[in-house]
């Protein structure tokens, strides 16, 4: 009996590293067409090793993309918070002036609190620029595509044919 075709597959199913009720699953399949003169011994194992390596690379790429997206979300939150600093400073300064306007009746704890909070806001412009630079330097995900970029395709078929 002559073997003409070898098909092997590998699959992975793993939990989302940051979400409790989310997981990922996929499978990879490769088929090899053999010529008459090909030696079939070890071909299945060789092809199987290739498929396993491809599946593991795919899994690691997904995990890397998830970590990048998590970092992107954290940076965006930090940027939004820093962009609100001018309003926070106005409020703190106003409250401090009101408290200091009370003269001897001023609560010294409140005065120290407002002064400390204002001091903590120093350098916010530099922090904001640093966070924006970190965000700009993040790589774009290769496999995990946000829905607004690729709507209507939960499996993202446009990325399923990527080569590693």
User: Which phi and psi angles does 18 have, rounded to 5°?
Assistant: -125, -5
pLDDT band, residue 164 (cuts 50/70/90): very low
- In angstroms, the first-to-last Cα distance of the chain is 35
In which band, very low, low, confident or very high, does the pLDDT at 105 lie, cut at 50, 70 and 90?
Answer: low
Ranked by mean pLDDT, the top range of 43-47, 75-79, 152-156 is 75-79
Structure confidence at residue 2 as a pLDDT band (50, 70, 90): confident
pLDDT, mean of residues 100-122 = 80
pLDDT, tens only, 50-72: 899 988 988 888 888 889 989 99
């Amino acid at each position: 009996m002559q073997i003409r075709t070898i098909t092997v597959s590998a699959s992975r199913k793993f939990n989302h590293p940051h979400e409790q009720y989310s997981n990922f699953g996929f499978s990879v399949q490769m088929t090899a067409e053999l010529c008459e003169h090909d030696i079939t011994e070890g071909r299945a194992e060789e092809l199987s090793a290739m498929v396993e390596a491809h599946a593991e690379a795919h899994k690691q790429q997904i995990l890397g993309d998830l970590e990048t997206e998590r970092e992107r979300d954290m940076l965006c939150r930090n940027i939004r918070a820093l962009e609100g600093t001018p309003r926070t400073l106005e409020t703190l300064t106003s409250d401090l002036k009101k408290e200091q306007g009370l003269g001897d009746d001023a609560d010294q704890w409140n005065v120290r609190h407002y002064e400390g909070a204002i001091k903590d806001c120093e350098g916010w412009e530099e922090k904001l620029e640093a966070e924006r630079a970190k965000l700009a330097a993040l790589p774009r995900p290769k496999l995990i595509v946000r829905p607004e970029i690729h709507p209507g395709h939960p499996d993202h078929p446009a990325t399923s044919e990527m080569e590693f």
